[in-house]
Amino acid sequence: MAMAIPDDIARKLTADFDTESANIALQALADLQAVSDDFTPRVLRCITYASFGDFDHFNRLLAMARSDPRDVMREAEFDINDKRLRDLSIPFDL
């Protein structure tokens, strides 16, 4: 059984997207989580963070995560030289 989407992720999606898009994004993350335990809150935060409020990019990140969640983590947490810039295993501080 999939875990509930953490509150910090839901709040960020609500802040970054209009109501309809936020609801679609929340459902998409819940569906992703239901597929595999690989889709941890960290991965969901990475998708949310790296989308920067762009719904089309959010959908591209979802597809990327389905292929390999590590790619999404690299995009969200690391710079071009693989230096870690942020740790999204920690909830967003909104």
Tokens of 74: 């690299």
pTM: 0.93
- pLDDT greater at residue 4 or residue 12: 12
pLDDT tens for each residue of 17-74: 999 999 999 999 999 999 998 999 999 999 999 999 999 999 999 999 999 999 999 9
Tokens of 47: 């998708």
